[in-house]
Structure 1
Amino acid sequence: MGVAVRVLRALFVIGLLGASLGACAKPVSQKELSGGPVATQERLVTNSTFKAAVTRVEQPMPERIFTTGKLSGRTLQVGTTADIILRPGEVVLTFDDGPRPGKTNAILDALDARGVKATFLMLGSSAKAYPELARQVAQRGHTVGSHTYGHVDLSKLSRQAALDEIVRGEAAIAEALGGAGKGLSPFFRFPYLAQTGFLRTSLLQGDMVVLDVDIDSKDYFRDTPEAVAARTLARLDARGSGVILFHDIHQRTVDMLPAFLAELDARGYSVVRLVPKNSGVFGRSVITAEMMQ
């Protein structure tokens, strides 16, 4: 009888062990999976140290990547290209090739609605054709720079012809801005971003500020406004800050800008306003073709 009791007890213990082992290996049922996320505790074994893993749950992306709380950011005084140092979450908005009636006006309205300022790199030919619009850009508090006279590839011209093209563009824009109360700033961007070492060095020696591009919106592609905004935001998020290139001559840019600015605000970015340290073209050494000699 004693033997029988011991056998029964042994069988009972084996049964308990089997049940507990079965519970450790039990997979999550399909019913449990369909009911939503299931929190599970896992064990990570490292050199005989047991550590309970953190419960795995999907975290949504934060609504605000940065937390400035204000789209209109600081004003950055710039004397040289090296002064343009942006903090995480800061962007500079630039618009090339204008002014253009029906486009530049609408872009100014969108910027005003959000209280932010941009830098407009104008063509001398466009400023000469639409001087009142060029003055309006300056009068509304934006910075006006130059982008040559006729948007030619300077790297394909002779040194003198390239410098002449730059000087001619500056002169035309300065004349157009004559009654705006604010002169032409020393900011300059190479058309097509095409430059030579000689030209860049010459401009920097002439106290011009060469504006490079960190994020090209490629708004000159025949894409939808939504595609332009999405591409620009994706590149900005990947970089975290930067100088953005737009053009105030495309309707798609006009159409996408209000939503783009709203999304910048929602993500916590701030727009930095660039201004020259000196008082425009007459407060610095003016580039001339003779400088190359």
Structure 2
Amino acid sequence: MASELFRRRARTWSLLGIACVTVALALPATRSMAADCPGNPGALGTSRTLVVDPREHPRIGTMQYAETLPLQDHEVVLTFDDGPLPRHSNAVLDILAKECVKATFFVVGRMAKAYPDGVRRMHDAGHSIGTHSHNHPLSFHRMTVEQAKQEVDEGIDAVATALGDRAAVAPFFRIPGLLRAEAVEGYLGSQGIQTWSADFPADDWRHISPAAVYGLAMSRLQAKGRGVLLLHDIQPRTVAALPQILHELKARGFRIVHVVPATPDRPKTPTEPSQWRLRPITEQVAISRWPKVPSFSFANAEMLPGPAVSDLGLNAGHMTESVGGPRHLARGQTPLPKRAPWPRQTPMAASANLIAFPIPAGVLFSIPEKSQPAIRAMIPVASHHATAGAGLGATKLDEAAPATAAGAPVRQISGSAAIAPAALQRGPIGLTARPRPLNH
């Protein structure tokens, strides 16, 4: 029992020792590259070299593609486009050399033909040399395959001529303006050339200040945590912002990775498929979001019988005749719609055993009227002016006015309401004075 426990402890300590040795070997390598930088012991340096196989991963850069380089957290790949332009490209090379940083340059063929010394200087400094077409046209998304092929091939030939060795040109290509097209990417993939986009740019091709270039580069890198940074070595604002970018990368704990293509003498870096995703989906998330399709086992796999045409009551001959070709009408004949192929409605025979439902009586819907007592609107009486024959305001019109007898019958108004007290009497109607005009 004691011997078994001793063996387990010894095995645990041996595994821990191996792990510590591995970490110790890895850390000094990174530090030594920065410490070995001539004249700058505190340089940023290049943490490691990543060897990729372009045929296995033909398109990279999350700005346009699903995959990117298999970088770890806080790892950065620096890329520069459009050079060489000696005045600015040489300044970029000096800044990178001071920090012992390796980058990838995407060279334009026409620029390589004009400044071959600049291309050789990039290569001699240890940087990777990709291509960026021959004339840098911003129309790759509208080109035919033949036009794109000519631009790609001429650019590679110009860079290879400047270097004196076609093998010195890395099979990396970035489409000008990132104006991608499926046909162009297909041709590049067939030639074993890896199409590079980027994970974030610094917008240094725009008319902005060096401070803005620095701010965009660091803010976008901090947001993604790792990736490929797109810069241009022909811009003065990039030359001015690059020292501050490299200084801040070191201050924030970022590390530079140099990317080179795999060769027969240089095997690719072992990676997992998930590492080529900037935000890989974990297995737990995939299982929780995408349930697997269950496998069913059927006890009986017989086919169920389908209905026949005769079961539908359709006349096959009539249907064929109805759906035939167009009919030719005689002159003056009116075209009529064709008869539908389905059968006409047929009356159903009434069953002798019908169930009669009760019908509501009419009295259920009658509304009785209310009976109210008769209401007298007024009580007519004889006018005392007619009998007196004299009084204030009495005229012949008063004498001629008809008088209603007190005992005369009164018409009853059904539903009327009283509008005056019962003692209301009718007064005389007379014209005592002529009305004055309103305009006098």
Whether TM exceeds 0.5 here: the answer is: yes
Contact 2:145 2:187 in 1 (8 A): no
The structure with more helix, counted as a fraction of residues: 1
Which of residues 106, 119, 143 in structure 2 aligns to 1:134? 119
Structure 2 CA distance for aligned equivalents of residues 182 and 206 of structure 1: 14
CA deviation digits over 1:145-182, x for unaligned, max 9?
A: 00000011211222101111110100001101117x97
Which of residues 144, 159, 162 in structure 2 aligns to 1:176? 162
Contact 1:149 1:168 in 2 (8 A): yes
For 1:161, the aligned partner's letter is Q
5+ residue gaps, structure 1, are 1-67, 281-293
CA deviation digits over 1:81-127, x for unaligned, max 9?
A: 73821111011000000000111111001101111100000000000
Contact 1:146 1:169 in 2 (8 A): yes
Q: Give the 5 Å matches for 1:185-224.
A: 185-224=170-209
Secondary structure of the equivalent of 2:242? helix
**Which deviates more from structure 2 when the two are superposed, residues 255-264 or residues 82-91?**
82-91
Match of 2:235 in 1: 250
Match of 1:77 in 2: 51
Give how far 1:226 is off. Answer: 1.0
Give how far 1:278 is off. Answer: 2.0
Q: Give the 5 Å matches for 1:1-293.
A: 71=44, 72-80=46-54, 82=57, 84-152=69-137, 153-178=139-164, 183-278=168-263
CA gap of 1:226–1:178, structure 2 versus 1, over 3 A, is same
CA deviation digits over 1:27-69, x for unaligned, max 9?
A: xxxxxxxxxxxxxxxxxxxxxxxxxxxxxxxxxxxxxxxxx87
Give how far 1:78 is off. Answer: 1.3
Contact 1:93 1:243 in 2 (8 A): yes
Contact 2:171 2:194 in 1 (8 A): yes
Contact 1:99 1:134 in 2 (8 A): yes
Secondary structure of the equivalent of 1:121? strand
Match of 2:404 in 1: none
For 1:266, the aligned partner's letter is A
For 2:102, the aligned partner's letter is K
For 2:146, the aligned partner's letter is Q
Structure 2 CA distance for aligned equivalents of residues 258 and 156 of structure 1: 38
Identity rate, percent: 40
State TM-score, norm by structure 2: 0.46
Contact 1:94 1:246 in 2 (8 A): yes
5+ residue gaps, structure 2, are 1-29, 35-43, 58-67, 266-440
CA gap of 1:279–1:229, structure 2 versus 1, over 3 A, is farther
State TM-score, norm by structure 1: 0.69
Structure 2 CA distance for aligned equivalents of residues 192 and 259 of structure 1: 26
